[in-house]
C-alpha cells in the first residue's frame, strides 16, 4: 500500500479489489463513494486543502517516476508497484472530484480531475481493472470568473504598489530644501501630484471591490441554503460549510476588508489638515499586514509540519521490519513532499520578511519626524523593498513544483511504458463490454463543454 493511501485508509475505508483467476476485477470506487452518506464526506470537506496538497505531491512523484524511464535502462519500477501507484492516484482523484462537485462546487477542479482520471483509466482499463462504459464528461467548466478575478487582482496589485510608492518617493523628495531649489523639477512634481494623488487615492479602494465582492458572494452562496446549493452540500453542517469556505478565503477576506476600509478613510476623511492621520493609518495597516501574513504562514506551515511528522513516524515504524518495499516507497514520497514543503517555506518566509521590512521602513514617515530627509529615506526603502520582493517572487515562481500528470496523456509515454514491459495486454478473450470500452476510449479525452458566465469559486 502506498504511503498516502496508508495514511488515509482509516478514513476512506476502501480496499482495492484484487484479481481472482483470469477475470479482471471491476473498479468500484466511484460506486462506493456514491453509496456513502454526508457524515462520510464531512471530514474530507473540512480537510480538503491537505488532501489536495497530498494528491499533487503524489502525482508529481508518479509522473517523475515515469519520466525517469526515458533515461533509465533498468527501471526499479515493477508492474505491481506502478499499478498500485496509478490506482492510488485514481482513488484520490475520484474522491477529490466528488468533493469539488457535490460539496465545494468548484467546476474547474472537477474538470481538471476528470481529465487526469481519464489518463489513469486509459492505462488500467482491460489490463488490471474493468471500468464501466465511459461516458462523455457532463461537468460544465465554468468561465472561472472568481479565479480570473483573483489572477487579475494579483497582476494589477504590483502596478498599484509601484504607482503608490513611486509617487510617495517624489512627494517626499520635494519636501527636502535642496530639491525645492530645483524650481522646474519642484514645480513639475507639485503639479503632477495634484492629479496623481486623487487618482491613486480613488484607485486604492476601488481596487479591492471585485475580489472582496466575489469572495463575500461565494461565502454567502455556500452558507445560506437555497436552490443554488447542491442537495449534498445542504446536508453538511453549517460549521463544516463555514470551515471549508474560510479555508479557501479567510486570508483574502480579512486582507481586503481592512484595506478597503482604510483606503476609503484615506480617500475621503483623512485629507487636507487631517492628512497626517492618514499616514498613521497607513502605518497601522502595514502592521496589520505583517501580523496577517505571519498568521497565514503559521497556519500553513503547521499543517505541513503535521504531514511531515506523520510520515517520519511511519518511517520509524517500518524501519527494521519486513516492509522493505513499502519503506522505500515511503522514503521516495517523503523526498517529493520535502520539495513542496521547502518551496512553501521560501514563499511564506519571503512574504513575512517583505511585509515586516515594509512596516519598519514606513515608520520613518511618521509625521512627528521633522527632518524631511528621513521620510524620503523611508519612501525610498519602501520602493526598493517592493522592487526586490517583486524580482524574488518572479524567480521563486519558476521553482514552484507543478503537477505534470497531464503531460503523460501524450502517446509517447504510453509507448514508452509498453517498450519497458509495462501494461502488456492480458491473454483474455474480449467481451462485448470490452469492445465497447475500446471503441469509446477516445471519449475520455474529448473536450468539456464550457460556459463563460457562471460565478464559481
Q: What is the pLDDT of residues 140-158, one digit of tens each?
A: 555 468 889 999 999 999 9
Does residue 444 or residue 249 have the better pLDDT?
Answer: 249
pLDDT of 136: 52
pLDDT of 67: 86
pLDDT of 74: 60
What pairs with residue 125 in β-bridges?
129
Cell of 169: 518617493
pLDDT over 90 at 381, yes or no: yes
Q: How confident is the model at residue 213 (pLDDT cuts 50, 70, 90)?
A: very high
pLDDT over 60 at 18, yes or no: yes
Percent of the chain with pLDDT over 90: 63
Q: How confident is the model at residue 442 (pLDDT cuts 50, 70, 90)?
A: very low
Does residue 305 or residue 19 have the better pLDDT?
Answer: 305
pLDDT over 80 at 372, yes or no: yes
- Dihedral sign of CA atoms 80, 82, 83, 85 in order: positive
Q: Mean pLDDT across the stretch 317-336?
A: 85
Q: Mean pLDDT across the stretch 1-27?
A: 82
Q: How confident is the model at residue 424 (pLDDT cuts 50, 70, 90)?
A: low
pLDDT of 444: 31
Q: Range with the lowest mean pLDDT among 16-25, 164-173, 276-285?
A: 16-25
pLDDT of 430: 38
Q: Mean pLDDT across the stretch 24-47?
A: 93
pLDDT over 70 at 130, yes or no: yes
Q: How far apart are CA 150 and CA 154, in angstroms?
A: 6
pLDDT over 50 at 189, yes or no: yes
Q: Mean pLDDT across the stretch 186-209?
A: 95
Q: What is the pLDDT of residues 64-77, one digit of tens each?
A: 988 888 777 666 77
Does residue 283 or residue 429 have the better pLDDT?
Answer: 283
* 66: CB partners within 8 A, 6+ apart: 408, 413, 416, 417
Q: How confident is the model at residue 435 (pLDDT cuts 50, 70, 90)?
A: very low
Q: How confident is the model at residue 429 (pLDDT cuts 50, 70, 90)?
A: very low
Q: How confident is the model at residue 454 (pLDDT cuts 50, 70, 90)?
A: very low
pLDDT over 80 at 303, yes or no: yes
pLDDT of 2: 84
Does residue 54 or residue 434 have the better pLDDT?
Answer: 54
pLDDT over 90 at 247, yes or no: yes
Q: How confident is the model at residue 438 (pLDDT cuts 50, 70, 90)?
A: very low
pLDDT of 455: 39
Q: What is the 3-state secondary structure (H, E, C) of the chain?
A: CCHHHHHHHHHHCCCCCCCECCECCECCHHHHHHCCCHHHHHHHHHCHHHHHHHHHHHHHHHHHHHHHCCCCCCCCCCHHHHHHHHHHHHHHHHHHHHHHHHCCCCHHHHHHHHHHHHHHHHHHECCCEECCCCCCCCCCECCCHHHHHHHHHHHHHHHHHHHHHHHHHHHHHCCCHHHHCCHHHHHHHHHHHHHHHHHHHHHHHHCCHHHHHHHHHHHHHHHCCCCCCCHHHHCCCHHHHHHHHHHHHHHHHHHHHHHHHHHHHHHHCCCHHHHHHHHHHHHHHHHHHHHHHHHHHHHHHHHHHHHHHHHHHHHHHHCCCCCHHHHHHHHHHHHHHHHHHHHHHHHHHHHHHHHHHHHHHHHHHCCCCCCCHHHHHHHHHHHHHHHHHHHHHHHHHCCCCCCCHHHHHCHHHHHHHHHCCCCCCCCCCCCHHHHHHHHCHHHHHCCCCECCCCCCC
Q: Range with the lowest mean pLDDT among 119-123, 130-134, 214-218, 231-235?
A: 130-134
Domain locations along the chain: 3-143+410-445, 145-397
pLDDT over 90 at 411, yes or no: no
pLDDT of 236: 95
Q: Mean pLDDT across the stretch 435-444?
A: 35
Does residue 69 or residue 313 have the better pLDDT?
Answer: 313
Q: What is the pLDDT of residues 68-120, one digit of tens each?
A: 887 776 667 777 888 889 999 999 999 999 999 999 999 999 999 999 999 99
Amino acid at each position: 500500500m502506498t504511503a498516502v493511501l496508508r495514511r488515509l485508509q482509516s478514513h476512506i475505508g476502501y480496499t482495492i479489489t484484487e484479481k481472482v483467476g483470469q477475470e479482471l476485477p471491476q473498479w468500484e470506487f466511484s460506486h462506493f463513494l456514491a453509496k456513502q452518506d454526508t457524515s462520510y464526506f464531512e471530514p474530507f470537506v473540512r480537510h480538503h486543502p491537505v488532501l489536495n496538497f497530498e494528491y499533487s505531491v503524489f502525482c508529481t512523484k508518479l509522473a517523475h517516476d515515469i519520466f525517469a524511464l526515458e533515461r533509465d535502462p533498468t527501471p526499479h519500477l515493477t508492474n505491481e508497484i506502478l499499478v498500485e501507484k496509478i490506482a492510488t492516484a485514481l482513488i484520490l482523484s475520484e474522491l477529490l472530484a466528488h468533493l469539488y462537485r457535490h460539496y465545494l462546487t468548484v467546476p474547474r477542479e472537477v474538470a481538471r480531475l476528470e481529465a487526469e482520471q481519464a489518463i489513469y483509466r486509459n492505462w488500467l482499463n482491460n489490463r488490471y481493472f474493468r471500468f464501466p462504459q465511459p461516458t462523455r464528461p457532463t461537468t460544465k467548466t465554468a468561465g472561472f470568473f472568481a479565479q480570473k478575478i483573483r489572477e487579475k487582482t494579483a497582476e494589477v496589485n504590483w502596478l498599484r504598489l509601484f504607482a503608490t510608492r513611486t509617487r510617495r518617493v517624489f512627494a517626499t523628495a520635494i519636501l527636502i530644501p535642496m530639491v525645492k531649489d530645483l524650481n522646474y523639477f519642484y514645480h513639475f512634481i507639485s503639479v503632477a501630484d495634484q492629479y496623481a494623488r486623487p487618482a491613486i487615492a480613488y484607485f486604492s479602494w476601488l481596487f479591492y471591490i471585485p475580489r472582496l465582492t466575489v469572495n463575500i458572494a461565494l461565502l454567502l452562496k455556500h452558507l445560506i441554503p437555497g436552490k443554488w446549493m447542491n442537495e449534498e452540500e445542504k446536508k453538511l453542517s453549517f460549521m463544516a460549510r463555514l470551515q471549508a469556505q474560510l479555508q479557501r478565503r479567510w486570508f483574502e477576506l480579512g486582507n481586503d476588508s481592512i484595506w478597503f476600509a482604510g483606503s476609503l478613510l484615506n480617500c475621503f476623511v483623512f485629507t487636507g489638515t487631517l492628512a497626517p492621520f492618514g499616514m498613521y493609518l497607513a502605518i497601522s495597516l502595514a502592521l496589520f499586514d505583517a501580523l496577517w501574513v505571519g498568521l497565514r504562514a503559521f497556519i500553513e506551515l503547521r499543517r505541513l509540519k503535521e504531514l511531515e511528522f506523520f510520515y517520519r513516524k511511519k518511517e520509524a515504524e517500518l524501519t527494521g521490519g519486513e516492509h522493505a518495499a513499502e519503506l522505500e516507497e515511503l522514503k521516495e514520497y517523503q523526498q517529493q513532499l520535502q520539495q513542496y514543503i521547502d518551496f512553501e517555506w521560501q514563499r511564506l518566509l519571503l512574504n513575512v520578511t517583505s511585509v515586516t521590512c515594509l512596516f519598519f521602513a514606513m515608520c520613518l514617515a511618521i509625521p512627528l519626524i521633522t527632518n524631511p530627509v528621513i521620510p524620503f529615506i523611508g519612501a525610498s526603502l519602501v520602493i526598493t523593498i517592493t522592487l526586490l520582493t517583486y524580482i524574488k517572487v518572479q524567480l521563486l515562481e519558476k521553482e514552484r513544483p507543478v503537477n505534470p500528470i497531464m503531460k503523460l496523456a501524450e502517446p509517447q509515454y504510453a509507448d514508452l511504458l509498453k517498450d519497458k514491459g509495462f501494461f502488456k495486454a492480458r491473454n483474455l478473450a474480449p467481451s462485448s463490454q470490452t469492445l465497447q470500452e475500446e471503441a469509446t476510449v477516445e471519449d475520455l479525452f474529448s473536450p468539456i463543454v464550457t460556459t463563460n458566465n457562471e460565478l464559481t469559486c
